[in-house]
Amino acid sequence: MVMTIPSRTSLPTKREGKRERRRRLIRYSWTYVGLAPFLVIAAFPSYWMLITALKQDQDLYRVTNNPFWFNLPLTFQHVTYLFTNTDFVQWAGNSLFISFFVVVITLGLTIPAAYALTRLRPPGSQLLSITMFTSYLVSPIILFIPLSRVISLLQLQDKIWSLIVTYPSFTIPFCGWLLMGFFKTIPSEIEDAALIDGCGRVRALLHVVLPVTMAGVLTIVIFAFTLVMQEFIYALAFISDNAAKPLPIAVVTVLIRGDVYFWGSLMAAALIGGLPIAILYSFFLDQFVSGITSAAVK
């Protein structure tokens, strides 16, 4: 048996190892340097809301203090005021209640509409698709005047259902346009095979198409939920009863009284109110990203 000794040049030297580690360190450093501005832009609002919610009033209004950190011991009085002196829990419940029903209505109307415009292609489908998207671009400032007449005729003024009726007017066009992009990425041969095996259009949609586009469905759920949770104009126009207001409008109208701003409680409400959306994004982040990229790339 002949043993071969590896040549000196085949073994990595310490100098080459150090050079490789240095090159890797430089590459990672430049990556983090490039990400740093985006991280600051994304995280700074949450950081500002957090420190404002936990600062004492003397620390907030004294201009000589460092605004980016605590100059006095932190306090939870603003959070306590939010939960004990306002109907914050009820406002949050109203927003979640409205969001749930609007998402259900959006899915129930968007899925068959997007499927029909994508696969069945009735006469004028292209014009209907463009109209669906352009209707989302119409400003709510223009729409809330005729919609207020509709709400008055339905006798839904100062009721949560007024928002459940009006919010699909902007969630359905946007989510329908997105879902059409997802349906277009699915090969039609999959549905043809299901139809040959005896499935009707409805069964093919429910058992073949929707499981494949589940990432797209989750994407429009997230978008619809986000749009509803941050809407302001319709809630301001249709609801004046504090008990029926959703979170965005209730926080502003109750915690801003003339020229008196309850800054600590406002920031606490904004931070806590954003948690449901953050949790939703964190749980379905992979499906959300895959849904967006599949619609964009394929």
Is 3 inside any structural domain? no
Are residues 210 and 108 in contact, defined by beta-carbon separation less than 8 angstroms?
Answer: no
> Could you report the per-residue pLDDT of 224-235, keeping only the tens digit for each?
888 898 888 899
Chain centroid, CA 165 distance in Å:
20
User: What is the reported pLDDT for 163?
Assistant: 92
The DSSP letter of residue 4 is -
Q: Can you tell me the distance from the alpha carbon of 150 to that of 239, in angstroms, rounded to the nearest whole number?
A: 14
How many Cα atoms sit within 13 Å of 182 on the Cβ side? 28
> Residues of 94-110 as b/e, b for ≥16 C-beta within 10 angstroms?
bbeebbebbbebbbeeb
Are residues 223 and 174 in contact, defined by beta-carbon separation less than 8 angstroms?
Answer: yes
Is 265 inside any structural domain? yes
Domain residue limits at 197? 79-297
Is 109 inside any structural domain? yes
User: What is the reported pLDDT for 98?
Assistant: 94
Is 176 inside any structural domain? yes
Higher-pLDDT residue of 16 and 77 is 77
> Could you report the per-residue pLDDT of 164-211, keeping only the tens digit for each?
999 998 898 888 888 888 888 877 777 778 777 777 777 887 777 888
Q: Which of 4-13, 80-89, 127-136, 192-201 has the highest mean pLDDT?
A: 80-89
- For the residues 109-136, what does the mean pLDDT come to? 80
Is 43 inside any structural domain? no
Higher-pLDDT residue of 280 and 148 is 148
The answer for residues whose C-beta is within 8 angstroms of residue 69's C-beta and 6 or more apart is: 51
Q: Bridge-partner residues for 261, per DSSP?
A: 256
Is 179 inside any structural domain? yes
pTM: 0.79
Question: Rg (Cα) of the chain, in Å, rounded?
Answer: 27
One-letter amino acid for residue 113 of the chain? A
One-letter amino acid for residue 102 of the chain? V
pLDDT at residue 100 tops 90: yes
Q: Can you tell me the distance from the alpha carbon of 226 to that of 219, in angstroms, rounded to the nearest whole number?
A: 11
User: What is the reported pLDDT for 57?
Assistant: 87
- What is the domain-level CATH number for residue 168? 1.10.3720.10
Is 50 inside any structural domain? no
pLDDT at residue 111 tops 60: yes
Is 60 inside any structural domain? no
User: What is the reported pLDDT for 13?
Assistant: 64
> Could you report the per-residue pLDDT of 10-65, keeping only the tens digit for each?
445 666 677 777 888 887 788 788 888 888 888 888 889 999 999 988 888 888 88
Percent of the chain scored above 70 by pLDDT?
89
Give me 158's structure tokens.
């100062």
pLDDT at residue 238 tops 50: yes
User: What is the reported pLDDT for 3?
Assistant: 53
Domain count for the chain, please give it: 1
Mean residue pLDDT of the chain comes to 82
What SS3 class is residue 43?
helix
